[in-house]
Amino acid sequence: MKVLCLFDTGVDRGECNLLIGLKQAGVQPYVICKPNTGRIAALQAAGILVEPWEIHSKIDLPFIRRLRELLEQESFDLVHAFRKSALSNYTLATLGRKETPVIAYRGIIGNLSYWDPFSWLTFLNPRIKKIICVCDAIKAYFINKKFLLFFSLFTDHNVVRIYKGHKVEWYTEKIDSELVLPRLGIPECAHVIGCISRIKARKGISELIQSMDLMTSGTEVHLVILGRVEDQSYRSALESSASRERIHLLGFLPGAARIAAEFDIITLPSLRREGLPRAVIEGMAHGVAPVVTNAGGSPELIEHGVSGLIVPPGDPAALAEAFNVLLSDDERRKAMGQAAQQRIRTHFDTDQSVAQTFALYNDVVAGYAKKQK
């Protein structure tokens, strides 16, 4: 089975391992992705053909021409579009051409409208046979997306959930013994609540900052927030916080996944539209107890009360209570952290992603071949 795999970015670690696993299962991936990214060598070493290409926009005429040339030269059984801009360009490149079944990937909730022409070049396009959603929350969003209040293009048949796979060992191997947080000004004796996220309103950073004033665990608790600032919605909460001297916004730092190992709690207080947050997965892989909100796919990571705690979105008091519960009971917190690590091993492993994606490929190709007879 020959599959054209389209990216408008680089290939991340999970996707790289998925492609290599599919290759080992008998698939022949042909990958188009952004040049000068770190995973290309690993893909090529596994015998996967990679064509570097910089896609500049949703409608990129040079890329569309290149796709048309490629489709003249090669015959693919299936197309797997891992990114939205890659999908829109592929749709335009195939106008007037014989249909090849397409699988699309979706990693966030929202930004889809029946009235948006661009949506018809992507997830609403009838050539798409399946949409892989990274969590059940995204799948539910598609299925509940009604046209004229009554009709939907999406069902359990054409929208599926496959969790993006990880390996605990990716995050736990080769960790330096020297701690990073003390060098960044956080006392070594402090309890640390950590959040790795882009800083924007829907991520709930203001509510997280507000929760610090509601905690009863004392002055030894510090909040560390890592990530790029994308808006100033948090600033009012920070400036009015009585705990601001214990709140550290450190910006984007390379190796944030490594720093997560030093947290006592990892949290993501999103208000809405969350996918399957990798930062929380990274913390869980280190054995750090998670606290997340019931927003998007975040609660799918956790068995509440066993491998973490789930609280309502937009509720600083609920966040504070969850933090207090875990920080007041070291034994329970550490047990939840170990259960969180085991949950990543058993429910979000890359081998499962490979097996489920391979089965989906076979199902789509066989179904399409049957319809052509």
**Cα angle: 51, vertex 355, 261; to 5 degrees:** 80
Residues 179 and 152 in one domain: no
> Which segments of the chain does DSSP mark as H helices, in order?
13-25, 40-45, 61-73, 84-93, 117-121, 136-143, 168-172, 205-212, 235-239, 256-259, 278-285, 316-327, 330-347, 350-372
Whether residue 199 sits in one domain with residue 78: no
Give, to the nearest 10 degrees, the angle between helix 316-327 and helix 205-212: 60
Q: Which region, left, alpha or beta, applies to residue 6 given φ > 0 means left and ψ of -120 to 50 means alpha?
A: beta
Q: What is the pLDDT of residue 92?
A: 98
Would you state the structure tokens that stand for residue 131, as one six-digit string? 């949409």
Copy the structure tokens of residue 193. Answer: 């609540």
339: left (phi over 0), alpha (psi -120 to 50) or beta: alpha
Looking at the fold, whether 161 and 173 belong to one and the same domain comes out as: no
pLDDT confidence of residue 217? 74
Q: Is the domain of 221 the same as that of 111?
A: no
Q: Which two tokens stand for residue 71?
A: 């489709």
Beta bridge partners of 267: 291
For residues 158 and 172, membership in a common domain is answered with: no
Q: Is 264 exposed, middle or buried (0-12, 13-18, 19+ CB in 10 A)?
A: buried
Please tell me the predicted confidence (pLDDT) of residue 148: 75
Tell me: the pLDDT tens digits for 265-282? 999 999 999 999 999 999
What are the tens digits of pLDDT across the range 213-268?
A: 999 876 699 999 999 999 999 999 999 999 999 999 999 998 899 999 999 999 99
Give the rounded percent of residues in the chain with a pLDDT score beyond 70. 98
Portion of the chain with pLDDT greater than 90, in percent: 91
Phi-psi region of 59 (alpha: psi -120 to 50; beta: other; left: phi over 0): beta
DSSP secondary structure letter of residue 229? B
Q: Is the pLDDT score of 347 beyond 80? A: yes
Query: pTM for the complete prediction?
Result: 0.95
Average pLDDT over residues 288-304: 99
Mean pLDDT for 305-312 is: 99
Residue 373 has pLDDT above 90, yes or no: no
Structural domain count, the chain? 2
CB-CB contact of 296 with 135 (8 Å): yes
Task: Give the pLDDT score at 147.
Answer: 81
Q: What does the pLDDT read at residue 150?
A: 75
DSSP readout, 123-175?
TT-TTEEEEEESSHHHHHHHHT--BTTTB-S--TTTEEE-PPPB-HHHHHTT-
Same domain? 175 vs 195: yes
Beta bridge partners of 159: 131
Q: With cut-offs at 50, 70 and 90, classify the pLDDT of residue 65.
A: very high
Residues 184 and 237 in one domain: yes
Domain that holds residue 252: 168-347
Q: Are 7 and 83 in contact (CB under 8 A)?
A: yes
Q: What CATH code is carried by the domain that includes residue 355? A: 3.40.50.2000
- What whole-number distance in Å separates Cα of residue 354 and Cα of residue 348? 11
Tell me: do 322 and 364 sit in the same domain: no
User: If 0-12 CB within 10 Å is exposed, 13-18 middle and 19+ buried, where does residue 180 land?
Assistant: middle
C-alpha span between 261 and 226 (Å, rounded)? 13
The whole-number pLDDT of residue 370 equals 82
Backbone angles phi, psi at 82, to 5 degrees: -85, -15
Q: What are the pLDDT digits (tens) for 159-176? A: 999 999 999 999 998 677
Q: What is the largest CA-CA distance in the chain?
A: 71
Amino acid at 365: V
For residue 178, the model assigns a pLDDT of 82
Is the same domain home to 118 and 20? Answer: yes
**Burial label, 267 (beta-carbon count in 10 A; 0-12, 13-18, 19+):** buried
Predicted pLDDT of residue 371: 82
Query: Do residues 342 and 365 share a domain?
Result: no
**pLDDT(372) > 90:** no
Same domain, 104 and 27: yes
Report which of residues 217 and 18 the model is more confident about.
Answer: 18
Average pLDDT over residues 3-12: 98
Asked if 197 and 275 sit in the same domain, the reply is yes
Q: For residue 149, is pLDDT > 80? A: no
SS (H, E, C) 234-290: CHHHHHCCCCHHHEEEEECCCCHHHHHHHCCEEEECCCCCCCCCHHHHHHHHCCCEE
pLDDT at 218: 67
